[in-house]
Amino acid sequence: MPASKSKFRLPPLSEEHLNPAQRALLDSMRAGPRGKGVSLGGPFGCYMHAPEIGEAIQQLAAFCRFKTRLPKRLSEFAILAIGRIWKAQFEFHVHAREAEEAGVKPQTIRDLKAGRVPAKAPKDERALYDFISELHQYRRVSNRTYARVQKLLGDGGVIELLAIMGSYTLTCMVLDTFQVPLPEGATLPFKEPVVG
C-alpha cells in the first residue's frame, strides 16, 4: 500500500526561513556524524519547532546511532524492534534498510514487521528481542533474560541498549504524534492504527 496521505501536523519549514536557534540546530546536526545531508524531513523537521530540546534529543540520538558499543547489527535490530512496538512507519521504513545493510537477515526484518517472534534470528538478536519485549510488556525484565543480555553486552552495554531503546521510543513518539510522512512513493510498513 502506498504511503498514507495523513496530514503532517506541523507547519513545514524551509532552510531559508529558519530562525537563529533553528539554524544552529541544523548546523549542529550537519557537523555531527549524520553529515551534511541532514534535511528537514523525518524527525529533524519536528525538532526545529523546539530547537533547544531538539539539540539535546539529536545529541543523544547521534550517540545511540553512531557511537554506542553495541555492534551496528544489534543496534539496528533494537531500533527495528522499538519501531515495530510503536508501529512507527517512518522509523521502520528507514531502519529496515539500515538493519539489512548492518547484517540483520531479511527474514528477521519480515518477522519483526509482521509482529512475529524472529525465531530464526541469531541468539544475540533473540536475547535482545526477549529483553525489549519483556520490558515493554511487563515493565520489568526476568533474571534469565537480563543475564543473557548482560553476558552479551556487559553492564555498560545494557545501559547503552536502554539508551537506544529510550532514544528511539522518543523518536517514534515524535514521528507518530506529528504524522511525519514517508518519502514519496514509499510503502507503509504497517496498517495504520485507527485512533478514536
pLDDT at 12: 87
Per-residue pLDDT for 126 more than 60? yes
| Overall average pLDDT of the 1-25 stretch | 84
Q: What is the DSSP letter of 17?
A: G
| Contact assessment for residue 143 and residue 131, using Cβ atoms and an 8 Å cutoff | no
Residue 2 has pLDDT above 50, yes or no: no
How does the average pLDDT of the chain come out, rounded? 95
- Cβ burial, residue 88 (10 Å; 0-12/13-18/19+): buried
In the chain, the percentage of residues whose pLDDT exceeds 90 is 92
At a CB cut-off of 8 Å and minimum separation 6, what does 19 contact?
A: none
pLDDT above 90 for 176: yes
Q: What is the pLDDT of residues 148-161, one digit of tens each?
A: 999 999 999 999 99
- Residue 15: predicted pLDDT: 95
pLDDT, residue 4, reads 45
Cα gap 23→21, rounded to integer Å: 5
pLDDT of residue 195: 83
pLDDT reported for residue 94: 95
Is the pLDDT score of 95 beyond 60?
yes
Between CA 41 and CA 27 the distance in angstroms is 15
